[in-house]
Amino acid sequence: MPKRTLEKRDIPSSLLAGARWLMNPVSEGGAKQVPRIKMLAGGPEILADVERMRVHPTGGRLLAERPDLGVSLSDTAALKAMPAGSLGRAFFDSMDNPYGVPGYLLAGLIYRDGFFDSFEISDDARYYLERARWMHDLFHVVTGYAPNLSGEGLLIYFQHAYLYGVSYSKLAWSSFGIGPRFFIQPSIGTKRWRALLKEAHRNGLAAHAVCPAIFVAWEELLPQPLEAVRAQLGIVPFLEDTSRWLDRSWLGKQAADGFGAQSRGATSARLARRVIEAGVDYRDFYRMSAAKARAVMMLAANGASDQDIRSAAAA
């Protein structure tokens, strides 16, 4: 079977992935649809972005040097040692909680079920796509949009504008835009909520005009003061406390229960984290067959040593 390419859109498959995301955007099954929607429907735009990146002063340097943003954002010791008030230290503080999901668990979902490897793409496009997968948590920090239901909805509108320069009308009627507009119902009221979504989108476009997010050398900004980074990138922080907003939607009820913090999905994420912290590369873990991944996670659940987990993963 020939491999997929980014040059050709697969709209039916993209719509199916969008429907699956809308059904449960907070689950692993929903989260893994995010890169699929973009790659299946937006391949030509991705390729155009890669071309722009090649001629951009910073973007071109990133493509030539290929720094691994995932390594920088996963080095908790280095992040913790950065100056108070810096972007890196703020990122560490935001992730340093028992309920936080490490970035690699989300970034790795692009490899699930062999999806990413089913595409025939250039090394530059591959780097572009893998780098973009690490930015969601960074955006939470630089924007001030909290990692709760309303904050996630606002960040969707900011993120798509900042990363891709997508127009409001195009985003609003995409799978990603429909979710926040119709499925999130905060107590501030529909009129103000939708006005804030438009504001988040405008702020994302303004930052995109300064420098598209994918062209930013985030690794070099981590030690710098957060406020200076925001000023340099043209990002206006959101100062309201969205945790005070109640939400009566189905998603709101799920959020009130911690999105099933005691669910099998949460347990699976905890075990995956244990496997990766034992020394298994997150990309290799997500490329495993379902049966092998279950076997390795069972070892983790039973208290196996790091060496035994690595050996089982390598077998």
Q: Which of 279, 311, 281, 282 is nearest to 295 (CA)?
A: 311
In a domain, residue 301? The reply is: yes
Residues 43-61 as b or e (16 or more Cβ within 10 Å = b): beebbebbeebeebeebee
Check whether residue 154 and residue 276 sit in a common domain: no
Check whether residue 69 and residue 17 sit in a common domain: yes
Domain end among 222, 239, 257: 257
Check whether residue 91 and residue 183 sit in a common domain: yes
Residues spanned by the domain of 298: 262-315
**pLDDT given for residue 30 in this prediction:** 78
Check whether residue 159 and residue 83 sit in a common domain: yes
In a domain, residue 217? The reply is: yes
Question: Quick one: CA torsion of 114, 219, 224, 88, rounded to 10 degrees?
Answer: 40
Measured CA to CA, the distance from residue 257 to residue 253 in angstroms comes to 7
Check whether residue 295 and residue 245 sit in a common domain: no
**pLDDT given for residue 100 in this prediction:** 62
In a domain, residue 6? The reply is: no
pLDDT in tens, the chain (315 residues): 678 999 999 999 999 998 888 777 767 777 888 889 999 999 999 999 999 999 999 999 999 999 999 889 888 889 999 999 999 999 999 887 655 667 777 788 888 888 999 999 999 999 999 999 899 989 999 999 988 888 989 999 999 999 999 999 999 998 888 888 988 888 899 999 999 999 999 999 999 999 999 999 999 999 999 999 999 999 999 999 888 887 776 666 655 444 444 455 667 777 888 888 888 888 899 899 889 988 999 999 999 999 999 999 998
Check whether residue 270 and residue 315 sit in a common domain: yes
Check whether residue 303 and residue 244 sit in a common domain: no
Check whether residue 89 and residue 132 sit in a common domain: yes
Measured CA to CA, the distance from residue 292 to residue 108 in angstroms comes to 16
Check whether residue 200 and residue 314 sit in a common domain: no
In a domain, residue 138? The reply is: yes
In a domain, residue 3? The reply is: no
In a domain, residue 5? The reply is: no
Type of residue found at 290 = A
Check whether residue 55 and residue 40 sit in a common domain: yes
When computed from its CA atoms, the radius of gyration of the chain, rounded to whole angstroms, is 19
Domain end among 257, 280, 303: 257
User: What is the secondary structure of 142-183 as a DSSP string?
Assistant: HH---SSHHHHHHHHHHHHHHHH---HHHHHTSHHHHIIIII
In a domain, residue 43? The reply is: yes
**Domains in the chain, number:** 2
Type of residue found at 271 = L
Q: From the DSSP assignment, how many helices (H) and strands (E) are in the chain?
A: 22, 0
For the stretch 158-207, pLDDT in tens is: 999 999 999 999 999 988 888 889 888 888 999 999 999 999 999 999 99
In a domain, residue 112? The reply is: yes
Output the average pLDDT for the chain. 88
Measured CA to CA, the distance from residue 250 to residue 247 in angstroms comes to 9
Check whether residue 206 and residue 307 sit in a common domain: no
Quick check: 312 and 280 in contact, CB under 8 A? no
Check whether residue 146 and residue 209 sit in a common domain: yes
How many other CB atoms are there within 10 angstroms of residue 140's CB atom?
A: 21
Domain end among 211, 232, 257: 257
